Amino acid sequence: MTVVRIPPTLRDQTGGRAALEARGATVRDLLDDLMGRFPQLRERIYTEGELAPFVNVYVEGEDVRTRDGLETSVEDSATVILLPAMAGGSKAPLAAPPQDGGLCPASV
């Protein structure tokens, strides 16, 4: 069975699980299997029935967008990784530059 690795940002939707087994011959089949059991995943990885542009899926380390997208075939023992892109940042102010101009002290 294929193992799908779930990043921390999606684990609320999978009951905290970091990896799930899924069945299917293609990436789409695997995701459909997962979403049948964890329907809240759908809104996090699909846009209008297709893979959202900010979600990356890797089969054995290769981005499916460089292959056949959701129709990429998946071997039964493969590892698939879901990886939504992270964006944003802190609203905290930037740190002030070092008073010494950022230079390292000379080695002794």
> Which pLDDT belongs to residue 108?
46
Q: Give the whole-angstrom CA distance, residue 40 versus residue 6.
A: 14
Whether 50 contacts 68, CB under 8 Å: no
Task: Note the CATH number of domain 2-84.
Answer: 3.10.20.30
Q: Give the whole-angstrom CA distance, residue 100 versus residue 32.
A: 57
pLDDT tens digits, residue range 76-96?
999 999 998 876 555 655 555
**CA 48-43-30 angle, 5° bins:** 85
> Which pLDDT belongs to residue 103?
55
Residues in CB range of 70: below 8 A, 6 or more apart: 26, 27, 28, 31, 50, 51, 64
State pTM to two decimals.
0.76
Q: Give the whole-angstrom CA distance, residue 27 versus residue 33.
A: 10
Residue ranges, the chain, pLDDT below 50: 107-108
Residues in the chain: 108
